[in-house]
Structure 1
Amino acid sequence: MPRRIWLVGLSGAGKSTIGPLLAGRLGYRYVDLDREVEELAGETIPHLFRVGGEAEFRRLEARAASRAARATDVIVATGGGWMARRDIDRTSGGRVRVWLRVRPETAIHRLSGEGAEVRPLLAGPDPAAALAALLAAREAAYAEAELVLETDGREPEDVVEVALRCLRRLAPRPPADREGTVEGTVEGTTEGPQES
């Protein structure tokens, strides 16, 4: 099993829900990069955006990511924009990146529930359009992940089961065994609901 698993994807993809469940199943530590940023800043992310702007948030996010990258046996839930950053190394440290793919309309539904925090980049008059634009801008970066999991129409526990199955199949094997790999064992493979 990979010892550093980083969850990537849009806000509303389920990273902060799947992460603790997956960590519990593996006996790993769970790290939420947004919460780490808040700890470094000593304030909430919405307040940080208001006071220091996105640039200050990104600076602290890079610090938090660097700290998390040194850990092992860890599940890291990244912010929605982390995977699209070109100013930090997103691939070092033996990480396996898992893209939790979600349709923008599903993400908006999840993010608009009672008690949900307003995400700074979605605080405008049309958050659905903003989220769709963010996905369009970030999709190519998300697609660099070693594993892609569909979350639409799945309960969190189901996503965790699929993740565990696919992560086990990502374990390194001798080069001679890599020919003819089955679905779910190579970079960029998508595992999602089967269509009839």
Structure 2
Amino acid sequence: MTPPVTPVVVLVGPPGAGKSTIGALLAERLGTGYRDTDADIERTAGKPIPEIFIDEGEPHFRELERRAVVAAVAEHPGVLSLGGGAVMDPSTRALLTGLPVVFLDVELADAVHRVGLDAPRPLLAVNPRKRWRELMEARRPLYTEVARAVVGTGGRTPAQVADAVLEALQLPRAHTPDIPQ
């Protein structure tokens, strides 16, 4: 019997935390694959997430998200990034128990700079700064609950954040050429 597949790293955090950028860097440094559940949802639905919100509503999107996380955790042995709201689902939080989850913690100013105020993020469409703060108030305890480690992104380059994640999880870097910091 083969052992179950589990991701080597699971990244969680709010919009603008850098999950996609850091995830791709980590995958490269670990010599493994990268998967993003938001991309899985868009591929399955055949349309961008903002259109799913508009056409079918948030509850439908959350169900697609829950299924995408279940599939990715079961199938992907590399680095996995979850959508910002995935931790809102209790079954997703239970699924993440015991996995190498890292909460990428980001301050509002950095998130706004990274996401931009006009980015197509449905939950940040109206008054994005206020809405981001509200999302973080609701989600921060959940990110912390599922995380084995919390890595702050403030004042760090993506390469420095990736190094901090590797250090926090005590993961060895694959033998790759030096990547500029």
In the superposition, the TM-score normalised over structure 2's length comes to 0.85
Partner of 2:169: 167
- Residue 83 of structure 1 contacts residue 90 of structure 1 at CA under 8 Å; is this kept in 2? no
Deviations 1:126-172 (A, max 9, x none): 10000000000111101121010000110000011111122117xxx
Structure 2 residue 113 is the aligned partner of structure 1 residue 118: no
Distance in structure 1 (CA, Å) of the matches to 2:93 and 2:124: 26
Q: Which residue of 2 aligns with 1:24?
A: 28
Corresponding residue to 1:36 among 35, 40, 43: 40
Per-residue CA shift, 1:174-196, capped at 9, x if unaligned?
A: xxxxxxxxxxxxxxxxxxxxxxx
Query: Residue 55 of structure 1 aligns to a residue in which SS?
Result: helix
Letter aligned with residue 119 of structure 1: R
RMSD after superposition: 2.0
Q: Which protein shows a greater Rg?
A: 1
Matched residues, number: 166
Q: Unaligned regions of 5+ residues in structure 2, if any?
A: 1-5, 172-181
4+ long deviations beyond 6 Å: none
1:80, distance to aligned residue in structure 2 (A): 0.7
- Percentage of pairs with the same residue: 39
Aligned equivalent of 1:7: 11
Q: Deviations over 1:112-132 (max 9, x none)?
A: 18xx732000001x1000000
> What is the aligned partner in structure 2 of residue 128 from structure 1?
129
Matches of residues 23-102 of structure 1 in structure 2 within 5 Å?
23-92=27-96, 94-102=98-106
Q: Which residue of 1 aligns with 2:148?
A: 146
Instruction: Please list the CA deviations of residues 47-69 of structure 1 after superposition, one character each: whole Å capped at 9, or x if unmatched.
Output: 11100010111111111111101
Query: CA 1:102–1:92 in structure 2 vs 1: closer, same or farther (change >3 Å)?
Result: closer
Does the Cα contact within 8 Å between 2:50 and 2:122 map onto a contact in 1?
Answer: yes
Shift of 1:7: 0.3
In structure 2, the CA distance between the partners of 1:3 and 1:48, relative to structure 1 (3 Å rule), is closer
Shift of 1:28: 1.5
Q: CA deviation at 1:90?
A: 3.7
Rounded Cα–Cα distance in structure 1 between residues aligned with 2:91 and 2:76: 23
Is contact 1:4–1:94 with CA below 8 Å preserved after alignment? no
1:106: Cα distance to partner? 1.5
What secondary structure sits across from 1:76 in the alignment? strand
Q: In 1, Cα distance between the equivalents of 2:142 and 2:97?
A: 18
Instruction: Provide the secondary structure at the position in 2 that maps to 1:31.
Output: strand
Q: Partner letter of residue 100 of structure 2?
A: V
